[in-house]
């Protein structure tokens, strides 16, 4: 306990916990919506787009996340438009946008050798390296996203479970879908610092599917998913600090562990 309390004497660990609180809350809430809508892989696709966007920011000498947030949000709209306007099946639109983002990032990395190491560090993330600027950015965006989710809670609920009824009730389902995609894009960019491009989809999917093993209602599932994501990130940061192991991989493996426990609990019950 004394060793754990000593963690708070390190500013970079406190920053990591604060970032984990913001990222965990949002990924848990939005992840549940994506899972129930059958769009779990949207996070993975947007994470790959962010790889190219971060590379673009480095080329122009701009703070990467300032470029990544608007680019990834635009990419989320691109996926929505391709799915609705083009004759594409399943997750084909996600695959197209994802491949474009990765290819662009690799091309930019090859053209500007100087930032290769920094760019590829985003692949696996490092929440213990979160800066003060990133904390402010994460807190601001988290507040905005959380408010939008709560204000549109009933709309999201209705469109998730019965889109036809939502349309008949006068809900603009296209606008709702666009809002969900945009919010997901913001959360994906924030989560990259925690677990990296390669693992960000796990942070959106695993806490949500774990929560669905316990929850009795949509609201309780969203709350439990957010709490589980926050707890997993916090525990992952703590273990990575004491054991000197990668934080991103630790967070994801802990999420998988808790998911397997939930399956065992459900089976026994």
**Mind listing the pLDDT tens digit for each residue in 93-146?**
777 888 888 888 778 777 766 555 566 667 777 777 777 877 888 888 888 888
Contact indicator for 34, 235 with CB cutoff of 8 Å: no
CB 232 within 8 A of CB 207: yes
- HSE of 124, CA atoms in CB hemisphere, 13 A: 8
Average pLDDT, the chain: 82
Taking 60 as the threshold, does the pLDDT of residue 10 lie above it? Answer: yes
CA gap 73, 46 in Å, rounded: 8
Q: Which two tokens stand for residue 42?
A: 């949207």
Domain map (residue ranges) of the chain: 14-268
With a CB cutoff of 8 Å and minimum separation 6, the contacts of 159 are 166, 171, 173, 176, 177
Q: Which fold has domain 14-268?
A: ABC transporter involved in vitamin B12 uptake, BtuC (1.10.3470)
- Identify the residue whose tokens are 């635009």: 74
């Amino acid at each position: 306990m004394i060793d754990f309390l000593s963690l708070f004497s390190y500013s970079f660990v406190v920053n990591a916990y604060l970032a984990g609180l913001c990222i965990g809350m949002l990924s848990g809430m939005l992840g549940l919506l994506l899972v129930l809508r059958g769009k779990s892989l949207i996070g993975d696709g947007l994470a790959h787009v962010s790889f190219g966007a971060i590379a673009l920011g480095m080329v122009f000498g701009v703070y990467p996340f300032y470029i990544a947030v608007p680019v990834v949000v635009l990419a989320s709209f691109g996926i929505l438009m391709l799915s609705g306007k083009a004759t594409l099946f399943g997750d084909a639109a996600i695959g197209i946008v994802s491949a474009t983002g990765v290819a662009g990032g690799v091309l930019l990395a090859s053209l500007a050798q100087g930032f290769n190491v920094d760019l590829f560090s985003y692949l696996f993330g490092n929440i213990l390296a979160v800066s003060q600027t990133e904390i402010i950015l994460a807190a601001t965006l988290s507040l905005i996203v959380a408010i939008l989710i709560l204000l549109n809670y009933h709309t999201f609920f209705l469109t998730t479970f019965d889109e036809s009824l939502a349309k008949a009730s006068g809900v603009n389902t296209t606008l709702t879908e666009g809002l969900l995609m945009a919010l997901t894009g913001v959360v994906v960019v924030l989560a990259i610092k925690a677990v990296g491009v390669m693992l960000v989809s796990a942070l959106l999917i695993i806490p949500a599917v774990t929560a669905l093993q316990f929850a009795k209602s949509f609201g309780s599932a969203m709350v439990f998913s957010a709490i589980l994501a926050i707890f997993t990130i916090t525990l992952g940061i703590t273990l990575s600090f004491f054991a000197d192991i990668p934080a991103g991989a630790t967070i994801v493996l802990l999420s998988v562990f808790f998911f397997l426990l939930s399956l065992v609990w459900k089976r026994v019950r």
